[in-house]
Amino acid sequence: ETYRQLANDIWSICNLLRGPYKRNEYRKVILPLTVLRRFDCLLAPTKAQALKTFNQYKGKPESIIRSVMQSATGYPFYNLSKLELAPSQKGRNSLLNDPSNLAPNLNSYINGYSPNIRTIFDHFKFGEQITKMAEKNLLFQVIQKFATFDLSFSGLFADQAAMQMGYVF
């Protein structure tokens, strides 16, 4: 899938948002969810091991947990939630497996990220958008669509993957 097609797929979500959101408000949903899905894709290969590592260090000071988790994931961030923003499949802890609790589970999932990532979503004020989408019965459809996007860009070097994300935006 080319980056143009991926960008088109992501921006096609605007069709779902039309009505409850004005055109200039689409970015309040699209940008944070693109970033969230990208983080989820990056952490997916190490998710199980990272959670095992966390269980070994649970209760230790935050500085130790941060250091250990960053080593476990290979990134300067981590997620301690068992949930993932992935397509609903048997054996996976997808947010989509429990549609009636999607809004609180999505908030919990975001709060499972390391403080540096939570700050990003606080800045986006994304909790407000989760509430709005849930109230307008859009949340499941939007999350379901985002869960299908492969934003790992696996097989690319880091600078190439960053460039691909730039094209998507």
Q: Are 63 and 73 in contact (CB under 8 A)?
A: no
pLDDT band per the 50, 70, 90 thresholds, residue 61: very high
For 128-152, what is each residue's pLDDT tens digit? 999 999 999 999 999 999 999 888 7
Domain interval for residue 64: 3-168
* 62 C-beta neighbours (distance < 10 Å), count: 9
For 2-44, what is each residue's pLDDT tens digit? 667 777 888 889 999 999 999 999 999 999 999 999 999 999 9
Q: Which residues contact 112 (CB under 8 A, 6 or more apart)?
A: 79, 80, 81, 83
Record the pTM. Answer: 0.86
* Number of domains within the chain: 1
